[in-house]
Amino acid sequence: MLEIKTNFQSSKIGNDDTDNEDAVFFDLTKNKFAIADGATTGMYSQKWANMLVKSFINSEKGLFDDPSIFDEIITTAKVEWKNAIPWDTLAWNAKAKAEQGSFSTFLGLDLKPDAGFRWNAISVGDSCLFKIKSGQITGSFPLQNSSEFNYNPHLICSISDSYKSHITTISGMLETDESLLLATDSVSKWIAQRHETNPTENILKVLPQDNVEIKEFFGKEIDAGNMKNDDLTLLVISH
Amino acid sequence: MPYSAEISRRSPGLIVFLLDQSGSMGDDFGTDGTSKAQASADVLNRFIQELILKCTRGEGEVRDYFHISVIGYGAQSNVASSILGADVVPISQLQQQPVSIEKKKKKVPDGAGGVVEVDQDFPIWVTPTAGSNTPMAAALNIAHQIIGNWISNNPHSYPPILINITDGEASDQPEPIAEQIKQMATSDGNVVLWNCHITGNNATRILFPSDEGMLPDQIAQSMFRMSSVIPSSMVSAAKETFDDPTISQNINKNSRTLAYNSDLIALIQFVDIGTRTSLR
């Protein structure tokens, strides 16, 4: 049985909670998890990020069933996006901007019970998955180093198939003393930097348990210049 | 590092346009009968439209990342004045108050391999005007005052951007006040003065010249002296935008922010370089 150890989200400091354009969605009965980071430069990014994670989780099929399932998931989200926009009532600028599409990163994780759990993950962009064993990071996906994070990650667009050339996948096993940590770019880069500075650090002990304390902790890291002020998402899944 | 200040709603940027409305702007710009006044208005309207789209976020709200000023000069003899109704206008207000919105047909993919024609809105804030003489120094004096007030109130903001669109032949002495403006600064760097010098003649296009001798006449050379040295942080963006080797190979740390005899598309790309910064 999988367990959510941490499910934390907060908006960029200075913004309202309703401005948060990160999305997280999971279903423990399906063993499926997803996060997405809507691009602030676009319009309806919050909607689009939420449609992507929900389309992934709500799909009857998973990454184990059919390699092409991801295209179906994105197509479903695209149709929903197009139907959700009130095209006829938009102001001239909103209509022109919406016609350019909405953009988001995506990271989906699908697990299957085995001796432990087998897992498949799929990604577009810089939202990351970290493998953790006894508290220590043993791998990350899709980015490997903190230097790989920049302001122009690959994105899934609501009106284009350009994401197809930027899909990356990975699979693995989750043992009893292991966790999988999913995070959007600001938290991911911060974790990658800490790991590069101190590879044996127990990241699960560094992170507070309680969401109020995590928010305070990350706020201090942002103030100290160790973390980018951005929407933050952190999901820790343990066996 | 200069020119790295965040542009946000709490710390917006200022863009001031100077638009030559003198009689000579009624002359042809190209071979299709378009006047220089029409071409300049097209550049300005297109630029404001693109800026509003950049600032359109969330579910369609326009965030005030920029405040805009447009000063016309020469519509009447020796007169320069703001043409947006106020000296400085938040970008969200411009979104609500175009003078008119023209409909134009645009071809877009129909999703099934073909194309369909759809109406697209082209908002207009500035209409073409070609009036009298060219009081460029008078316009720069107003810009000096507006930018001075802005810096007093926003001493740490991204440095104000001044973009002058003209056919160049000033009827007063603009160089001294242009020099004063270039010396103005926030803690993030000096004001950058961009000059778009359009001519309507067949002379070769010259972008980002690094030497006065590259320009063909005294008017263009004066525009060179009035233009800023390109901030080093914008050199690579300029090279990427204009990857034609005949242009990019001339862009270096001594280049000036001057576009001489440029076509409309390049002019829009040219002024865009100055505002290509992270919006938060």
Kindly state whether A92 is in contact with chain B, defined as any CB-CB distance less than 8 angstroms. yes
What mean pLDDT comes out for the span B90-107? 89
Q: Does A200 touch chain B (CB under 8 A)?
A: no
Q: Does A170 touch chain B (CB under 8 A)?
A: no
Distance from C-alpha of A23 to C-alpha of A52, rounded to nearest angstrom: 9
The pLDDT > 90 percentage for chain B reads 67
Q: Whose structure tokens read 């507070």?
A: A208
DSSP H helices, chain A, are 45-58, 69-84, 92-98, 185-197, 203-206, 211-223
CA B7 to chain centre: 18
Q: pLDDT, tens digit, for every residue of A34-70?
A: 999 999 888 999 999 999 999 999 999 998 888 789 9
Q: Which of B56, B58, B280 sits opposite A93 (nearest CB)?
A: B56
pLDDT of residue A88: 93
Question: Could you tell me if B62 lies within 8 Å of chain A, comparing CB atoms?
Answer: yes
* CB neighbour burial string for A65-85, b if at least 16 within 10 angstroms, e if fewer: eeeebbeebbebbbebbeeeb
Can you give the pLDDT at residue B32? 80
In whole angstroms, how far apart are CA B27 and each of A24, B35, B43, B45, B75? 59, 5, 17, 20, 14
Summarize the confidence of residues A207-234 as an average pLDDT.
Answer: 95
Q: pLDDT at residue B250 above 90?
A: no
* Predicted confidence (pLDDT) at residue B203 exceeds the cutoff of 90: no
Q: What is the mean pLDDT of chain B?
A: 91
Identify the residue among B52, B55, B59, B95 best suited for mutation to test binding to A, counting A beta carbons within 10 A and taking the highest. B59
For residue A221, the tally of other CB atoms under 10 A from its CB is 15
Tokens 């965040």 correspond to what residue? B6
pLDDT on residue B110: 66
Distance in angstroms (rounded) separating the CA atoms of residues A31 and A9: 20
Strands B161-166 vs B192-197: parallel, antiparallel or unpaired: parallel
The pLDDT tens digits of the residues spanning B140-177 come to: 999 999 999 999 999 999 999 999 999 988 999 999 99
Q: What is the dihedral of CA B140, B144, B146, B152, to 10 degrees?
A: 170
- Give the model's confidence band at B23: pLDDT under 50 very low, under 70 low, under 90 confident, else very high: very high
> Tokens 């980018």 belong to which residue?
A228
Distance from CA of A131 to the nearest CA of B (A): 31
Cβ-defined contact of A96 to B59 (cutoff 8 Å)? no
A91 vs B contacts (CB less than 8 Å)? 60, 95
Q: Chain A window 8-27: which residues touch B at a Cβ cutoff of 8 Å? A: 14, 19
Is B56 within 8 Å of chain A by CB? yes
Give how far Cα A77 sits from Cα of A80, A83, A114, A184, B36, Å.
Answer: 5, 10, 30, 20, 47
Phi-psi map region of B261: left, alpha, beta (phi>0 left; psi -120 to 50 alpha): left
- Considering only alpha carbons, which residue of chain B is nearest residue A231? B280
Average pLDDT, chain A: 94
Whether the predicted model's global pTM rises above the 0.95 cut: no
Distance from CA of B147 to the nearest CA of A (A): 27
Residue B279 has pLDDT above 70, yes or no: no
pLDDT for residue B108 is more than 80: no
What is the model's pLDDT at position B56? Answer: 95
Local confidence band at A32 (pLDDT 50, 70, 90 cut-offs): very high
Distance CA A50, CA A130 (A): 22
Is A156 within 8 Å of chain B by CB?
A: no
ipTM of the complex: 0.83
pLDDT at site B270: 83
Distances (CA, A) of A210 to A8, A214, A226, B103, B225: 9, 6, 21, 55, 61
Contact A96 B53 (CB under 8 A): yes
Residue A149 scores a pLDDT above 80? yes
Kindly write down the DSSP assignment for every residue of B94-149, as one continuous string. Answer: HHH--SEEEEEEEEEE-SSSSEEEEEEEEEES------S---HHHHHHHHHHHHHH
Q: What is the pLDDT of residue A16?
A: 84
Residues 6+ apart with CB under 8 A from B229: B253, B254, B255, B256, B257
Residue A166, SS3? helix
B278 vs A contacts (CB less than 8 Å): 151
Check if B112 contacts A (Cβ < 8 Å).
Answer: no
